[in-house]
Homo-oligomer: A and B are copies of this chain.
Amino acid sequence: MTDSLRLHGVVPPLLTPLGPDGEVDVASLRRLVRFQLDAGVHGVFLCGSSGEVALLDPGQRGVVVETAVAEVAGAVPVLVGAVDSGTRQVIAHARAAETLGADAVVVTAPYYVQPHPDEILAHFHAVRDAIGIPVVAYDIPSAVGARLTPDLVERLAETGAVVALKDSSGDLAAFREILRRVPGLPALTGSELFADTAVQLGAAGLVPGLGNVDPAGYLRLYRAAAEGDFAAATAEQDRLARLFSITTVADRGRIGHTAGALGAFKAAVALRGVIADARTGPPLLPLDDAETGRIGALLGELGLGPA
């Protein structure tokens, strides 16, 4: 599937369910993968930011990939985040993912070391040369502190270092510039909130964290947008924007933004009966009962019951 991989559609960045012992809850992950496949997703993305990749050790990453590859069983492409601060570790993650059957790896700019754009380019080339599966560029400046600018994405595409882009920058003008300048590069948006617009403008697909909670919604949105029915896509987007408000129920005076967002996704997926437990990895602190209750109430209002 490697050379012919052409990403498109809804490719949710899957949560990593954890058990009370802090280990990957394999049964829950299987159910989550199955829940997504049943909804019709076009791919799955493991070990992304929504999958708490920055909090997983190599063993956990391996369990996640192995479980997902087995459950997907070739039905759709399996993307795996090879996310780390340095090139060497990213290559190790990427090789492990390839060995376990991933169809592509998803790679951010290096972090902690404040790289120059040419160092970011060298990073992607080194990863690409070290593995036999394609590399997807992952722009997420809020987490890594560096940006994959349109210039840099164009260079990455022209040199064959990457085969696609996942854009979580929130910068629609830059995303659009990439679509214009590098029309041959499939570009997927990580935005939960302008997914309809992105598809209409030429995005190949969607990688919404909220897709964990309501994959059917993003499928409807994607299909409507891809078919040019923008009114329907926008109606769906508006509904999903309302659902996205679960990410703001947590008291920001008590826990961080990441904890609040991922905790809400996990709580919602648990309330829908897909995963057993909403816990997040340390150091992220949990939502409290009242906050979880508000999420449950909103799911009820939106008719999102047990899956």
Please indicate the chain B residues that have their CB under 8 angstroms from the CB of A143 in the complex. Answer: 112-114
A172 contacts B197, C-beta separation under 8 Å: yes
The CA-CA distance from A57 to B111 in the complex, in Å, is 15
A88 within 8 A of B: yes
Please indicate the chain B residues that have their CB under 8 angstroms from the CB of A60 in the complex. Answer: 88
Q: Which of A92, A145, A284 gathers most chain B CB within 10 Å?
A: A284
* A252 nearest CB neighbor, chain B only: B116
| Total number of A residues with any Cβ neighbor in B under 8 Å | 62
Q: A87 and B170 in contact (CB under 8 A), knowing A113-B54, A194-B176?
A: no
The CA-CA distance from A194 to B194 in the complex, in Å, is 12
The CA-CA distance from A180 to B244 in the complex, in Å, is 13
B238 contacts A54, C-beta separation under 8 Å: no
B122 contacts A283, C-beta separation under 8 Å: yes
Interface hit among A62-70, A256-264, A267-275, A291-299: A256-264
Q: Which of A88, A194, A252 gathers most chain B CB within 10 Å?
A: A88
A113 contacts B234, C-beta separation under 8 Å: no
The CA-CA distance from A205 to B122 in the complex, in Å, is 37
A255 contacts B116, C-beta separation under 8 Å: yes
The CA-CA distance from A193 to B177 in the complex, in Å, is 9
A57 contacts B89, C-beta separation under 8 Å: yes
A92 contacts B180, C-beta separation under 8 Å: no
A51 within 8 A of B: no
The CA-CA distance from A197 to B237 in the complex, in Å, is 14
A126 within 8 A of B: yes
Interface string of A100-123 (1 = CB under 8 A from B): 000000000011111110111011
* A88 nearest CB neighbor, chain B only: B57
* Smallest beta-carbon distance A122→chain B, Å: 5
A56 within 8 A of B: yes
A111 contacts B282, C-beta separation under 8 Å: no
A22 within 8 A of B: yes
* A172 nearest CB neighbor, chain B only: B172
Please indicate the chain B residues that have their CB under 8 angstroms from the CB of A112 in the complex. Answer: 49, 54, 83, 111, 143-144
B177 contacts A119, C-beta separation under 8 Å: no
B193 contacts A116, C-beta separation under 8 Å: no
Q: A234 and B201 in contact (CB under 8 A), knowing A112-B111, A282-B88?
A: yes
A281 contacts B142, C-beta separation under 8 Å: no
A55 within 8 A of B: yes
B285 contacts A122, C-beta separation under 8 Å: yes
The 4 closest A-B pairs by CB, nearest first: A55-B86, A116-B256, A54-B112, A87-B282
**Taking beta carbons and an 8 Å cutoff, which residues of A are in contact with B?**
22, 49, 52, 54-58, 60, 83, 85-89, 92, 110-116, 118-120, 122-123, 126, 142-145, 170-173, 176-177, 180, 191, 193-194, 197, 200-201, 230, 234, 238, 241, 252, 254-259, 281-285
